[in-house]
């Protein structure tokens, strides 16, 4: 999937790559279709075997930007391509602290 070729575009695919500080990001929504062929038995004996089917896969890509300027350049590029399948956000990662309490009674 091609979202543009900007220097500071960071496609987030792993948790350890997620920015730790406040940043701008684009959520890019897409739909892909994957055609699966049926097996020979379903073609020669309808109702048997595994029939062909199309799988619909909806995705959301998270693109983080290093600066507001880089985000604006990306938006301009999307506009030129007539793309509107995105939402721009300003994200502030939160720190979550958890605790576990175990009580045993007789």
In a domain, residue 3? The reply is no
In a domain, residue 61? The reply is yes
**Sheet containing 53-65, strands listed edge to edge, beginning at the edge strand earlier in sequence:** 9-12, 53-65, 23-36, 86-91
In a domain, residue 31? The reply is yes
For residue 6, the model assigns a pLDDT of 46
| Backbone torsions φ then ψ of 83, nearest 5 degrees | -95, 135
In a domain, residue 24? The reply is yes
Kindly tell me if the per-residue pLDDT of 1 is higher than 50. Answer: no
In a domain, residue 60? The reply is yes
Residue with the bigger pLDDT between 10 and 50: it is 50
In a domain, residue 2? The reply is no
In a domain, residue 104? The reply is no
Domain that holds residue 32: 9-91
Q: Taking the complete model, does pTM exceed 0.75, yes or no?
A: no
Each residue of 18-41: pLDDT tens digit?
899 999 999 999 999 999 988 888
**How many domains would you assign to the chain?**
1
Kindly tell me if the per-residue pLDDT of 65 is higher than 60. Answer: yes
Question: Which residues have a Cβ under 8 Å from the Cβ of 6 and sit 6 or more positions away?
Answer: 70, 73, 74, 77
3 state SS of 69: helix
Q: How many CB atoms lie within 10 A of CB 35?
A: 8
């Amino acid at each position: 999937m091609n979202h543009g070729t900007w220097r500071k575009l960071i496609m987030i695919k792993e948790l350890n790559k997620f920015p730790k500080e406040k940043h701008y990001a684009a959520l890019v929504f897409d739909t892909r279709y994957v055609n699966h062929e049926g097996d020979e038995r379903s073609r020669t004996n309808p109702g048997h075997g595994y029939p062909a089917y199309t799988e619909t896969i909806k995705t959301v890509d998270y693109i983080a930007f290093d600066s507001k300027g880089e985000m604006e350049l990306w938006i301009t590029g999307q506009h030129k391509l007539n793309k509107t399948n995105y939402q721009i956000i300003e994200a502030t990662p939160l720190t979550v602290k958890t605790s576990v309490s175990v009580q045993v009674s007789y």
